[in-house]
Amino acid sequence: MFVRAAILLLLGLSISIFANPDKDNKNESSKLVLPPEKASPVKISRLEKPPTIDGILDPSEWVNAVVLKDFYQTYPGDNIEASRKTEVLISYDDKFLYIAFRAFDDPNKISATVAKRDDVQNDDNVRILLDTFNDQRRAYVFVFNPFGIQQDGVRTEGQDMADFSVDVLHESKGTLTEFGYTVEVAIPFKSIRYEVGKGKLWGVHALRSIKHLNSEANSWMPLLRDKSGFLTQMGHITGIEDIAVERTFEFIPGLTVSESGKRIRGFPVIKALMT
């Protein structure tokens, strides 16, 4: 009797395991605890002197910038340690939001081409999403290959793909280095819509794609597979205050013509002479 009960118990455990092989992984993902620097909003500081956007990341120019680091591998792994190190630096001044990427890798394995704008998905790339109203509904998307060639658009929550028909005026430059590649970016505040002020939050996702590692995807914030939503899993930045308010207006010239007068005949009337 005891042996029969033991056998039934073992069979029950086996059935449970094979019926849901990913149960343990999902539980681990759900129990993921964010470190303090990701659980709380990251306060960014103002740069005293604007950096030169040349793709060469000079530490003296970014001395006051905050650094987003310790990325997770979200594909093919499930929020495990990333295979390559990535750092994102963020700061601002009166007119620009400044972002720099430092992507560590073997420079001989990096995929980088002089691609057309909005056509960098086949290259290694880094990207940042900015939910400038922190409403978890829409976010600006800025993507860059190792040469700094741009792809930009707007991501709407609930849609799998961003709308890359939207173009945002900004400057970027990237370069290959002995440790990987770096990209520097300057986004004019006048090119985007946003909410700033004391205590205001922006949602932020920082991501990286590594082509030679089976298109490995890395993310600064973990992306839980058992949680719906993408913008809902963003981290946050704060501290953007006292910036110059500018707006870009688009003028489309037009011409309106009007005419007034009385109608006249096209040809004079010739009276016949009567004889």
Q: List, for residues 143-157, the tens digit of each pLDDT value.
A: 999 999 999 999 999
Side by side, the strands of the sheet bearing 171-177 are 66-68, 86-92, 96-104, 180-188, 171-177
Name the pLDDT band for 161 (thresholds 50, 70, 90).
confident
The span from the CA of 99 to the CA of 172, in Å, is 9
Partners of 182 in beta bridges: 102, 175
Residue 9 lies in a domain: no
**Do the domain assignments include residue 202?**
yes
Assigned domain for 195 exists? yes
Residue 20 belongs to a domain: no
Q: Report the CATH number that the domain containing residue 110 is assigned in CATH.
A: 2.60.40.1190
Q: Is residue 68 part of a domain?
A: yes
Task: Name the token pair of 77.
Answer: 């792994």
Please list the residues that pair with 187 across neighbouring strands: 97
Domains: count for the chain: 1
**CA-based nearest residue to 174, from 84, 85, 58, 54:** 54
CB 18 within 8 A of CB 71: no
Q: Indicate whether 171 belongs to any domain.
A: yes
Q: Does 206 fall in a domain? A: yes
Q: Is the pLDDT of residue 254 over 80?
A: no
pLDDT at 154: 97
- Residue 227's domain comprises 42-238
Does 252 reside within a domain?
A: no
